[in-house]
Amino acid sequence: MSNFLESLYSQATFNLKPSPIREMLHLIRRPGMISFAGGMPDPEIFPVEQFKEAAGILDREGKDVLQYGTTEGYLPLKEFLAEWTAPKMGRKLATDEILITTGSTQIVDLLSWVLIDKGDWVICEEPTFLGATLTMRNHGASFLTVPCDENGMKVDMIPEMVEKARKEGKKVKFIYTIVNFHNPLGCDLSLERRKKLIEIAEKYNLLILEDDPYGYVRFDGEEIPSIFSMDTSGRVVFACSFSKILAPGTRVAWCAGNKEVIRKMTVFKQGVDVCTSVVAQAMVYEYCRLGHLDSFLPKIIDHYRKKRDAMEEAFRKYLPQGEVKWLTPRGGFFYWLETPKVKAKDLFEKAVEKKVAFVLGEPFFPNGGGEHNFRMCFTFASKEQTEEGISRLGEALRELL
């Protein structure tokens, strides 16, 4: 670090930690590497032709779309989302209950601006999406982490945690939860626990950030009502994104919530990026208006179900049975694995020698843990790569046992 810079940096810069996943990308791009690391959609099924067709909106609206847009978001897209999300939201939203954002990562950032003072506390699952904790940490948040089982976070533990924290003078502000096909766990938060979570939020005056980028990518089982749809007191901010259901390169996402909170987030957004790319929003809107979103969803569900099944089959075929634990996800992008006798770090080193990559569990634990866990994304690699990669992983694991 240059000396002259050190005296200029903010406290936040001193606390800055890069995302271990983002930092790994150069490693993953090595020739011959089979990667199960990043949570990336399969580029083979990106709807390139349909998106090119959607670009036709520039013929019609080019002069408006190339202008600055409102911070609240491109109105036709908000109107579309108000209708389209009604089954999940439990009702048709008003457009001022929706804010379009630049990726759903920005939703975490904006809500953190609204709620977090340096030193405040957020309740989250253990483990949880590290992108979100990274963002909240930038605002000076610390975390009360709640262990999970196959039904998601053990919400019954929250009341005691909050009471203890508040007795110690800690300010606990909101609960961050990934409700469907959790990243990294792959599990769903059960209906009963969703209901309990609202009761807890009401009793302890907390907000809930319901992060649901994977909910539309369900392979098996019944859809579970969103927490937002069950909330009657305006405590839930629901976050979703086009990243996993269309393409992450659009960087278009949205959130829904209490008008007052949405308005505050909007004002912070004015100072963050003025507005989300209007060109991107308009093309996403046109893509949706032409019916491509509705026809693409069954296609990705079918495609990713097959990929999940291929990974499951390869696990059974190549991993030493009894030495690895996993839960079969009913949707989404990820498997979460546990190797009780082998440290994930050791396995990672061996695997990388054999040109296979995954993500270590530890960074998903804001307060430490996960030494024997790792995450595998099943959507990105081809069927052949999955088979080959997991056979190499099996070899690496056998060498360590």
Ligand X SMILES: Cc1ncc(COP(=O)(O)O)c(C=O)c1O
Applying CB under 6 A, the residues found at the interface with ligand X are 39, 103-105, 129, 131, 178, 183, 211, 213, 241, 243, 248, 253
Instruction: Give the shortest CB-6-to-ligand X separation in angstroms.
Output: 31
Q: In the complex, what is the shortest distance from the CB of residue 9 to ligand X, in angstroms, rounded to a whole number?
A: 26
Vertex 219 angle, CA 46 and 36, to 5°: 55
Q: For ligand X, which is the closer residue by CB, 39 or 152?
A: 39
Q: How far is the CB of 248 from ligand X (least distance, A)?
A: 5
Residue 101: its H or E element: strand 98-102
State the virtual CA torsion across 271, 272, 278, 284 in degrees, nearest 10.
-140
Nearer to ligand X, 245 or 396 (CB): 245
Q: The tokens of 119 are what? A: 């030193």
Residue 392: how many other CB atoms lie within 10 Å: 18
Q: Which is nearer to ligand X, 213 or 394 (CB)?
A: 213
DSSP 3-state of 106: helix
In angstroms and rounded to an integer, the radius of gyration of the C-alpha atoms of the chain is: 21
Antiparallel, parallel or unpaired: β 356-357 and 34-35: parallel
- Reported for 113-117, long-range contacts at CB under 8 A and 24+ positions apart, including other chains, are 113/139, 113/265, 113/268, 114/261, 114/264, 114/265, 114/268, 115/173, 115/174, 115/207, 116/140, 116/141, 116/173, 117/171
Determine if the peptide bond prior to 366 is cis (ω within 30°): no
Q: Least Å distance between CB 201 and ligand X?
A: 19
DSSP for residue 377:
E
Please, are residues 378 and 36 in contact by the beta-carbon 8 Å criterion? yes
Closer to ligand X by CB, 182 or 372: give it.
182
Nearer Cβ to ligand X (85/183): 183
- Cβ proximity to ligand X: between 184 and 394 the closer is 184
Q: What stretches of 71-104 show up as alpha helix (H) in DSSP?
A: 75-84, 86-89
- Tell me how far, at minimum, the Cβ of 220 lies from ligand X, in Å: 20
Structure token digits, residue 188: 């769903």
Which lies closer to ligand X via its Cβ, residue 134 or residue 253? Answer: 253
* Shortest distance (Å) from residue 132 CB to ligand X: 6
- Closest distance between ligand X and the C-beta of residue 216, in Å? 13
218 DSSP 8-state letter: B
CB of 21 to ligand X, least distance (A): 9
Closer of 129 and 238 to ligand X (Cβ): 129
- Side-chain half-sphere CA neighbours of 185 within 13 A: 21
Min dist CB 231 to ligand X, Å, is: 19
| Choice between 41 and 69, CB closer to ligand X | 41
When the beta carbons of 105 and 276 are compared against ligand X, the nearer one is 105
CA–CA dist 275, 279 (Å, integer):
11
Cα 263–265–268 angle (5° rounding)?
115
For ligand X, give the closer residue by CB, 240 or 311: 240
Omega cis (within 30) before 159: no
CA atoms within 13 Å, Cβ hemisphere of 273: 15
Please, what is the minimum distance in Å from the beta carbon of residue 15 to ligand X? Answer: 21
| Minimum CB distance to ligand X, residue 243 (Å) | 3
Question: Environment class of residue 179 by beta-carbon count within 10 Å: exposed (0-12), middle (13-18) or buried (19+)?
Answer: buried
